[in-house]
Amino acid sequence: MTKAQIRQTYDRIAHWYDLIEAIPEFLGVKILRRELLQRASGKVLEVAAGTGKNLRYYPKTCQITAADMSSAMLEIARSRADGLGLDITFLIMDAEALGLHDQSFDTVVSSLTLCTFPDPVAAILEMARVCRSNGRILLVEHGRSDRERLGRWQDRRAERHAARVGCHWNREPLKIVLKAGLKVIDARRAFFGIFHLIEAMS
Ligand SMILES: C[S@@+](CC[C@H](N)C(=O)[O-])C[C@H]1O[C@@H](n2cnc3c(N)ncnc32)[C@H](O)[C@@H]1O
């Protein structure tokens, strides 16, 4: 899928997204979000923030900027933030070309996105560029299972799945982070090796 097609897909499914995503949430993503986001501090940029599912988990002291290229997804995030009484800056922006200054955030967060970006290494490099040195890049992702039979099952269906929803579910999030040259501080897998919690710095 091209970026324009990905944006159109998310604009179209925005109102259904939370319902569709309820299954991975139930299978453990919610727990990973809660655990990882407690590590955020200071000025935070959330890249491809979607409907704002992470917003409730940030420490109250964080100043949050949430970016996404789908305005329909961000509209839902905006009402979620209003409901939570949070003051958040929203930006329509491409993760692979962030129009933000170098080293301007203490923490950069992204969740369930490396499967979707056409060039996930470019997106990680952008996250690293806008994060201050010694800042943190926090990721909750999903990818190819390290249980071989399950991983091969994902491989066989990967192309069909990506053509339908733009999600490459057999990517390897940790390898993408390492390919972008980040230092990994903490990395853990959950749910049959499919979900990832990653804390990294540039
Ligand atoms: C699977 S959703 C994840 C949303 C949210 N991060 C979450 O954890 O629920 C993927 C999100 O990435 C956004 N997205 C995809 N490609 C993007 C890009 N190149 N730049 C910015 N956002 C992008 C989509 O609009 C969508 O909101």
User: Whose Cα sits closest to atom 26 in ligand 1?
Assistant: 50
pLDDT at residue 12 in the model: 95
Task: Inform me whether the pLDDT recorded for 85 exceeds 90.
Answer: yes
pLDDT at residue 99 in the model: 96
pLDDT at residue 166 in the model: 87
Cα dihedral 74, 79, 81, 86 sign: positive
Instruction: Give Rg (Cα) of the chain.
Output: 16
Nearest of 202, 200, 201, 199 to residue 36 by alpha carbon: 199
Query: What is the average pLDDT value for the chain, to the nearest integer?
Result: 96
User: What distances in angstroms separate CA 193 from CA 9, 126, 151, one per listed residue?
Assistant: 27, 26, 9
Atom of ligand 1 nearest to the CA of 115: 1
pLDDT at residue 1 in the model: 87
Question: 3-201 adopts what CATH topology?
Answer: Rossmann fold (3.40.50)
165 and 107 Cβ atoms separated by less than 8 Å: no
Domain ranges of the chain: 3-201
User: Whose Cα sits closest to atom 12 in ligand 1?
Assistant: 48
Distance CA 137, CA 181 (A): 12
Task: Give the SS3 label for residue 55.
Answer: helix
pLDDT at residue 165 in the model: 81
pLDDT tens-digit map of 165-174: 889 999 999 9
Q: What are phi and psi of 98, to 5 degrees?
A: -75, 125
Please tell me the pTM assigned to this model: 0.96
Q: Report how far ligand 1's centroid is from the alpha carbon of 177 (Å).
A: 17
| Residues present in the chain in total | 202
95 lines ligand 1 (CB under 6 A): yes
Q: Determine what percent of the chain is predicted with pLDDT higher than 90.
A: 96
Task: Inform me whether the pLDDT recorded for 177 exceeds 90.
Answer: yes
Six token digits for residue 18: 């939370």
pLDDT at residue 201 in the model: 96
pLDDT at residue 164 in the model: 83
pLDDT tens-digit map of 19-59: 999 999 999 999 999 999 999 999 999 999 999 999 999 99
The residue ranking higher by pLDDT, 1 or 121, is: 121
